[in-house]
Amino acid sequence: MQPGSLTPRGVIYTISCRKVAAGLRTLLFFLAAPLLAAEYKAGIAKIDITPKEPIYMSGYATRNHPSEGVTQHLFAKALAIEDGHGTRVVIVTTDLIGLPRAISDPVAAEAAKRWGIDRAHLMFNSSHTHTGPLLLHNLNLMFELSEAEAAAVERYTRQLSEDLITVVGGALQDLQPARVWLGNGAAHFAVNRRQFTPNGVKIGVNPQGPTDPDVPVLKVTAPDGRVRAVLAGYACHNTTLTGEFYQITGDYAGYAQAELEKAYPGATALFLQLCGGDQNPNPRSTMQLAEQHGAALAAEVKRVLDGRLAPVRGPIRAAFQIVDLGFAYHTRQQFEARLTEKNVWRVRHARAMLRTYDEGRPIRTYPYPVQALAFGKALTVLALGGEVVVDYDLRVKKEFGATGMIVAGYSNDVMAYIASKRVLKEGGYEADDSMIYYGQPGPWAEDVEERIFTTIHQVMKRVGRKG
């Protein structure tokens, strides 16, 4: 119908058109009202996962005895968010070196059984603290433990699995009306640690190397405005405290979370480790610096929380895919040749790899997890497994936009460093040597970055995030 016609008939049409339009507007209002009113619900839970006995600490191969005490408690925390259609996601953060799938998969299976949360809607992240306990199935060639030391690690890991199930359930039981907001800040204590020397790339300080200062901040409030949870991320190893420390702490992320929980009484602060695989805090090595970096991060998060935040709303969508990543070709002879070397780790690794050949199952590929969680058009959380170097985060932001984008590493499974094509070519710890401690046969195949990005594009498409 064309309104505004000069014929009498046309005038009638015009009037009826107006009536129809008004009626449609009323109808649309009533249809949309439940959607507009359908606020998110959020649930938060927190559980103390501090080791209860001396235990080997992970992250530094030079450590030679169990922990000597606790300076700061470690926590697993869960944030559940439900949209207006009843779709729920749970994000679990942990003050731990890195949850392997041998822990996260059974916990996810139990959560699916108990609460109907499928794998795609459950995300695990680890802060990568190097002053936390060693876990079973993670960095398993780093240490040779006595029977008693191994038993303590096993006891801890068993209890941890129970605690993770408890914390997921706790967050789901706590679901209540909430509003979610997103803001971004920046922190500057991370530095690219891949230092170029005449003898190759060493772990040091490389101020020219890529880094990402982004500090994404999620704020979860009650209908009365009270802050219930703060989730903040940063791409930087939790390695302010070096190998000579034998006290349990959460490093800078632990101090930042404690500081935020003090600043917002009753709120839970969660830390997400982003793509900090090749990023170290700078300077580092003292307790005072760990507290200082934590305070700097907390201050920035507080500044963001006090500023203008964008509302996060809309339907929640989730996708989780596994992609098989290949390793560079290896042979039995390569490992046999290493048996006479002096480096105890390389020899231990060669023996482990020869066992896989003996058993007829040399490791050729690894099932790598890629997950995306979308909250309407406001926010996408991409969760990548392993110790992801910052190149991935920068490329994701280039291809999909940085606004409303959080790229987390250390998620769902931590099985190795995830070098980019560039880092693989350059070599060094993240590309090569670190694979020894993780018990992987060697560097990833050259196509690792492309295979991961093909999968990233697939999960992004499934959750409706456009590039």
- For binding to Zn ion (CB under 5 A), which residues are involved? 387
Helix (H) or strand (E) holding 396: helix 390-400
The β-bridge relationship of strands 379-384 and 387-388 is unpaired
- Min dist CB 416 to Zn ion, Å, is 10
For residue 466, the cross-strand partners are: none
Q: Angle 226-318-261 (CA atoms, 0-180°, nearest 5)?
A: 25
Residue nearest to Zn ion (CB): 387
SS3 427: coil
Cis previous bond, 100, omega within 30: no
Task: Measure the CA–CA gap between 386 and 109, rounded to whole angstroms.
Answer: 20
Give 126 or 455: the residue with its C-beta nearer to Zn ion.
126
Helix (H) or strand (E) holding 81: strand 75-82
Query: First vs last Cα of the chain: how many Å apart?
Result: 38
- Min dist CB 212 to Zn ion, Å, is 16
Give 78 or 435: the residue with its C-beta nearer to Zn ion.
435
CB atoms under 10 Å from CB of 200, counted, come to: 12
Which residue is listed with tokens 């602060």? 269
- Min dist CB 221 to Zn ion, Å, is 34
- Min dist CB 181 to Zn ion, Å, is 31
Give 63 or 119: the residue with its C-beta nearer to Zn ion.
63
Give 314 or 442: the residue with its C-beta nearer to Zn ion.
442
- Min dist CB 243 to Zn ion, Å, is 13
Give 129 or 161: the residue with its C-beta nearer to Zn ion.
129
- Min dist CB 385 to Zn ion, Å, is 13
Asked if residue 183 lies in contact with residue 308, where contact means CB atoms within 8 angstroms, the answer is yes
| Max CA distance (Å), the chain | 102
Give 180 or 253: the residue with its C-beta nearer to Zn ion.
253
